[in-house]
Amino acid sequence: MKTGIANLPLHGGKAPAWLFGRMKHLAGELTRLILYDFGSAELLRHLSDPFWFQAFGCVLGFDWHSSGLTTTACGALKEGIRGMEQEIGFFVAGGKGRMSRRTPDEILEYGKHITTDPEPLVYASRMSAKVDSAAVQDGYQLYHHVFFFDRDGRWAVVQQGLNDENRYARRYHWLGLDEVDFVCEPHQAVCCEKKALTLNLVAREGEENRRASAEISIEHPDRVIGEFKKIQTLELPARHDVTPDLIGPEYFHRILLRTYEEQPDGFENLLGLRGVGPKTLRALSLMAELIYGAKRSFRDPAHFSFAHGGKDGHPYPVDRETYDRSIIFLEELLHSAKIGHSEKKRAFERLKAFCGGKNEP
């Protein structure tokens, strides 16, 4: 199962060295405490919870609504346990920008320290990124991808995308404690302030469209292109996110030749093919709807607001039960953490500010 997306406004700058050094120390202590007291599965579950993750970042030293919280909190955790991964049985791969592209290599490097085949972990990393960049077309371009996993092959993902037009970042959380269905309702909980028109190719109601798209992809390219050219003469309704003239038949033929040769078995295998990106999936899903009547979903996978603190309850109130559990859990961890009194005091102050002054250390 997977949990969570959060929309966050973009802020400039970065954490100063003196602060990041303390973040690493605190993140390392809290991570080891959770592992020793609750186990790696619980840590992965918490990282996949957007409420807990946001509270964790605030404890480390960030404002609740800062987009930089995601990259810095993940980086602090990764650096905080560096050199101890084999001992604690917990590993972190990936990061921001170029580091995100090294995720598969880092997973394989840690492979000798885990009890399972690392290849499924590489697949999970790649598919989680592919889903949120190509199958959920919400206008956010991924630039940050971090893959957490334990020695038993359980995993979680925290990744983030940017939207240059509205100046917001959207964060995606995944959880892989059990078998994962990558192409049907992959987001169990979604947190964001703004919903948008989204081509959601992993919505439950889009199963027929996914099936038809996969079937079209294995047809002979000449036959598909013939149908595609017919569609170009249609006047499409305004709700369609792309018109056929935006995708040249030559480009489409080249991709279709690859899918025809590969003969992907189902939509997940189609999505996993290299070279099959947003444009190809939009074209296939459009053809599936117009030719076979297989409706697409334009439902944004957002479920509730990430307006923490209950200041205005817009667009509706925070999930208080989950919110409070995160605060209490982190308070208990801070009490137990082996860090200096001044650092612990400042962490409690940040936690108090995060929850509106209701929790005292």
| Helix (H) or strand (E) segment spanning residue 149 | strand 141-150
Please report the pLDDT score of residue 327 as a whole number: 63
Please report the pLDDT score of residue 313 as a whole number: 41
Please report the pLDDT score of residue 301 as a whole number: 80
Q: Encoding tokens for residue 360?
A: 């005292």
Please report the pLDDT score of residue 250 as a whole number: 75
CA angle, residues 116, 118, 123, in degrees to nearest 5:
125
Q: Could you read off the pLDDT of 78-106 as tens digits, one per residue?
A: 999 999 999 999 999 999 999 999 999 99
Q: What is this structure's pTM?
A: 0.82
Please report the pLDDT score of residue 61 as a whole number: 74
Please report the pLDDT score of residue 253 as a whole number: 87
Please report the pLDDT score of residue 166 as a whole number: 80
How far are the Cα atoms of 39, 69, 77, 188, 354 from residue 349, in angstroms, in the given order?
Answer: 27, 17, 20, 31, 9
317 cis-preceded (ω within 30 degrees of 0): no
Residues in the chain with pLDDT values less than 50: 2, 64, 238-240, 304-318, 358-361
| Helix (H) or strand (E) segment spanning residue 157 | strand 155-163
Percent of the chain with pLDDT over 70: 71
Q: Mean pLDDT of all residues in the chain?
A: 81
Please report the pLDDT score of residue 1 as a whole number: 54
**By three-state DSSP, how is residue 332 classified?**
helix
